[in-house]
Amino acid sequence: MNDKNIQYAQPSDDIQQTPLEGAAPIVADQKSKKATKSNGAAQPTPMMAQFFEIRAVNPGYLLFYRMGDFYELFFDDAEIASRALGIALTKRGKHLDQDIPMCGVPVHAAQDYLKKLIALGHRVAVCEQMEDPAEAKKRGSKSVVKRDVVRLVTAGTLTEDDLLDSSANNYLASLSMIQHGDADFAICYTDISTGEMFFTDVSAEQLSDELARIEPTELIVSEQTQRYIEQNNLLPIAFAGQLAVQPSEIFNSEAASDVLKSSFGEDAQGILGQSRIVRSAIAAAITYIQETQKGAKVPLRLPQRAGDKLMQIDAATRMSLELLRTNRGETKGALRATMDKCVTAAGSRLLSSRISAPLCDAAAITERHNMVGDFVGNSLVTSLLRAKLKSTPDIVRGLTRLALGRGGPREMLAIRSAIQVAAELVGEMSALDLPNEGNQRLIEILQSTPTDLAHEISGCLKDEVPLLPRDGGFVREGFDAELDEFRTLATQSRQIIAALQARYADETGIKAIKVKHNNVLGYFVEVPASHGNKLMAEPLNQTFIHRQTLANAVRFNTAELSELQSKITHASDAAQAIELRIFEELRNQILSKTAKLQKLADALAELDVTSALGQLALEQNYCRPKIDNSNAFEIKDGRHPVVEVMLEQAGQTSFVANDCDLSPQGEQKNGALWLITGPNMGGKSTFLRQNALIAIMAQMGSFVPASSAHIGVIDRVFSRVGAADDIAHGRSTFMVEMVETAAILNRATAASLVVLDEIGRGTATFDGLSIAWAAVEALHENTGCRALFATHYHELTALSDRLDRVSNHTMKVREWEGDVVFLHEVANGTADRSYGIQVAKLAGLPTHVVERAQEVLDILEKRETADVAAGVAQLPLFAERRPTPKPKSDDALKKRVDQINPDELTPRMAIDLLYELKKLSQKHAER
Ligand X SMILES: Nc1ncnc2c1ncn2[C@@H]1O[C@H](COP(=O)(O)OP(=O)(O)OP(=O)(O)O)[C@@H](O)[C@H]1O
* Torsion angles phi and psi, residue 716, rounded to 5: -145, 140
Nearer to ligand X, 47 or 681 (CB): 681
Among 623, 656, 736, 837, binds ligand X (CB under 6 A): 656
CB of 758 to ligand X, least distance (A): 7
SS3 827: strand
Is 190 a binding residue for ligand X by CB under 6 A? The answer is no
Min separation Cβ 767 and ligand X, Å: 20
Q: Point out which span in 70-78, 196-204, 336-344, 677-685 binds ligand X (CB under 6 A).
A: 677-685
Rule CB under 6 A: is residue 699 a binding residue for ligand X? no
Comparing CA positions, the residue from 133, 103, 99, 127 lying closest to residue 16 is 133
Nearer to ligand X, 226 or 685 (CB): 685
681 labelled binding-site residue: yes
* 682 in a known ligand binding site: yes
With respect to ligand X, which residue has the nearer C-beta, 814 or 882? 814
For residues 88 to 127, the per-residue mask of contacts with ligand X, x marking binding by CB under 6 A and - elsewhere, is ----------------------------------------
Closer residue to ligand X, CB minimum distance, 575 or 656: 656
What is the smallest separation between the CB atom of 678 and ligand X, expressed in angstroms?
Answer: 6
The residue range among 234-242, 441-449, 680-688, 912-920 that interacts with ligand X, by the rule CB under 6 A, is 680-688
Work out how close the CB of 737 gets to ligand X at its nearest, in angstroms, rounded to a whole number: 14
| CB neighbour list of residue 891: distance below 8 Å, 6 or more residues apart | none
Dihedral angle sign, alpha carbons of residues 502, 507, 512, 514:
negative
The values of phi and psi at residue 586, to 5°, are -65, -40
Note the residue count of the chain: 927
Q: Which is nearer to ligand X, 50 or 797 (CB)?
A: 797
Q: Shortest approach of ligand X to residue 779 CB, angstroms?
A: 20
- Mark the segment that binds ligand X (CB under 6 A) among 444-452, 616-624, 679-687, 770-778: 679-687
Candidate segments 267-275, 308-316, 582-590, 683-691, binder of ligand X by CB under 6 A? 683-691
Q: Is residue 773 a contact partner of residue 796, using CB atoms and an 8 Å limit?
A: yes
- Give the residue, chosen from 303, 347, 408, 682, that forms a contact with ligand X under the rule CB under 6 A: 682
Q: Is 655 near ligand X (CB under 6 A)?
A: yes
Is 679 annotated in some ligand binding site? yes
- The residue among 85 and 676 lying less far from ligand X, judged by its C-beta, is 676
Output the CA–CA distances (angstroms, integers) from residue 195 to 158, 201, 440, 599, 881, in the order listed.
Answer: 12, 20, 25, 11, 73
Least CB distance to ligand X at residue 677 (A): 10
Q: Which residues pair with 143 in a beta bridge?
A: none
Assess 684 for contact with ligand X (CB under 6 A): yes
Name the residue nearer to ligand X (CB basis): 52 or 822. 822
Nearer to ligand X, 647 or 778 (CB): 647
Establish whether 469 is an annotated binding residue.
no
Edge-to-edge order in the sheet of strand 147-153:
90-95, 98-106, 70-74, 62-67, 124-129, 147-153
Min dist. Cβ of residue 798 to ligand X (A): 20
List the one residue out of 714, 770, 715 whose CA is nearest residue 738. 770
Does 353 bind ligand X (CB under 6 A)? Our answer is no
Distance CA 285, CA 290 (A): 9
> At closest approach, how far in Å is the CB of 646 from ligand X?
7
Least distance in angstroms from the C-beta of 805 to ligand X = 23
Residues near 444 by beta carbon (within 8 Å), at least 6 away in sequence: none
Radius of gyration of the chain (CA): 36
Any bridge partners for residue 681, and if so which? Answer: none
Residue nearest to ligand X (CB): 683
Q: Is 759 in the site for ligand X (CB under 6 A)?
A: no
Binds ligand X (CB under 6 A): choice among 681, 698, 709, 813: 681
Among 680, 791, 797, 807, binds ligand X (CB under 6 A): 680
Within 10 angstroms of residue 313's Cβ, the number of other Cβ atoms is: 23
Using rule CB under 6 A, residue 68 touches ligand X: no
- Part of the chain binding ligand X (CB under 6 A), chosen from 1-9, 353-361, 676-684, 911-919: 676-684
45/810 with CB nearer ligand X: 810
Q: Give Cα separations from 277 to 167, 249, 283 (angstroms).
A: 31, 13, 10
378 interacts with ligand X by CB under 6 A:
no
To the nearest 10°, the Cα dihedral for 132, 137, 142, 147? Answer: -20
CA 160, 325, 319, 371 dihedral sign is positive
683 binds ligand X (CB under 6 A): yes
Examine residue 643 and tell whether it contacts ligand X (CB under 6 A).
yes
Angle at 433 between CA 427 and CA 438, to 5 degrees: 80
Q: Is 1 annotated as a binding residue?
A: no
Q: Is 719 in the site for ligand X (CB under 6 A)?
A: no
Total residues contacting ligand X by CB under 6 A comes to: 14
Which C-beta is closer to ligand X: that of 149 or that of 657? 657
* Closer Cβ to ligand X, 658 or 783, answer by number: 658
**Pairwise CA distance, residues 584 & 472, whole Å:** 13
The angle that helices 379-389 and 362-376 make with each other, rounded to 10 degrees, is: 90
Which ranges of 153-275 does DSSP label H, i.e. alpha helix? Answer: 204-214, 223-231, 253-264, 269-272
Number of other CB atoms surrounding residue 592 within 10 Å: 12
Q: How far is CA 49 from the centre of its chain?
A: 40
526 or 757: CB nearest ligand X: 757
Phi and psi angles of residue 231, each rounded to the nearest 5 degrees, phi first: -65, -35
566 is in an annotated binding site: no
Verify binding: residue 515, ligand X, rule CB under 6 A: no
Q: Which range in 242-250, 449-457, 503-511, 673-681 contacts ligand X by CB under 6 A? A: 673-681
Q: What is the dihedral of CA 555, 561, 564, 566, to 10 degrees?
A: 60
Give the other-Cβ count within 10 Å of 914's Cβ: 10
Intra-chain end-to-end CA distance of the chain, in Å: 66
Question: Does 685 interact with ligand X (rule: CB under 6 A)?
Answer: yes
**Sign of dihedral through CA atoms 591, 592, 593, 594?**
positive
Whether 685 has a binding-site annotation, put simply, is yes
Please identify which residue in 194, 348, 686, 691 interacts with ligand X, judged by CB under 6 A. 686
For residues 791-850, which are near ligand X according to CB under 6 A?
Answer: 811, 824
Phi, psi of 371 (to 5 degrees): -65, -45
Least CB distance to ligand X at residue 707 (A): 14
Indicate whether 691 belongs to the interface with ligand X (CB under 6 A).
Answer: no
The reply, when asked if residue 684 is annotated as ligand binding, is yes
487 lies in the binding site for ligand X (CB under 6 A): no
To ligand X, the closest distance from the beta carbon of 680 in angstroms equals 3
Contact 152, 292 (CB under 8 A): yes
DSSP state of 274: S
611 or 791, CB closer to ligand X? 791
Instruction: Give the nearest distance from C-beta 676 to ligand X in angstroms.
Output: 9
Q: Closest Cα to residue 481, out of 566, 569, 574, 409? A: 574
- Name which of 170 and 680 has its Cβ closer to ligand X: 680
Among 537, 540, 544, 538, CA closest to 562: 544
Q: CB-wise, 368 or 792, nearer to ligand X?
A: 792
Residue ranges of the binding site: 678-685
**What is the contact surface with ligand X in residues (CB under 6 A)?**
643, 655-656, 658, 678, 680-686, 811, 824
Binding residues for ATP: 678-685
